[in-house]
Amino acid sequence: MRYFIVKVPAMYSQTSHNIRVTVLVDYLPNESRPQEGLHAWSYQVEIENLQDYAVQLLRRHWTITDMNGITKEVKGPGVVGQQPVIEAGERFDYTSGTWLNTTSGMMFGTYTMLDIDGNEFDVTIPAFSLDVPGAKLRAN
């Protein structure tokens, strides 16, 4: 009998203002360079509009913290070069990634959205963990 290990990405989800944000995070061993202290992760984001009207994603604000407590912030227009309009009941998906100099860290943030009346509001991106599988969780 053969056994196979199936690696399943970690999933995080949170709903705010009737917008559900779900993140799947995965460590990328083939993109990482542990001997140089560089570790890569991809994250897939699904933004689902549970409102009964369309919204537009205007801006993103990420906070990324490594296990040594070093924090960087990433702010900018849209995501992956887009400022999508997400119709009622529809979703928008994209994939991006990040690097850390440690084997563990975390990310969280907000998306600034625009409603049909021209009002801006922030949607929470759930905090999610960035962990190298099997690595000891200790600060460098």
What is the CATH number for 76? Answer: 2.60.40.1470
Domain assignment of residue 102, yes or no: yes
* Residue-number span of the structural domain to which 106 is assigned: 10-131
The position carrying tokens 């991106």 is 125
State the chain's mean pLDDT as an integer. 92
Query: Which pLDDT value is given to residue 94?
Result: 98
For residue 84, being part of any structural domain is answered with yes
CB burial of residue 36 (10 Å; 0-12, 13-18, 19+): exposed
- 98/49 Cα distance (integer angstroms): 25
Stretch (H or E) spanning 120: strand 120-131
Reported as a pLDDT band with limits 50, 70 and 90, residue 88 is very high
Q: Please check whether residue 39 lies inside any domain of the structure.
A: yes
- Using a pLDDT cut of 90, give the percent of the chain over it: 86
| pLDDT of res. 10 | 81
| SS3 call for 64 | strand
pLDDT in tens, 29-87: 999 999 999 999 999 999 999 999 999 999 999 999 999 999 999 999 999 999 999 99
Domains contained in the chain, number: 1
38 is a domain residue: yes
Residue 140 lies in a domain: no
Instruction: Compute the average pLDDT of residues 90-95.
Output: 98
33 inside domain: yes
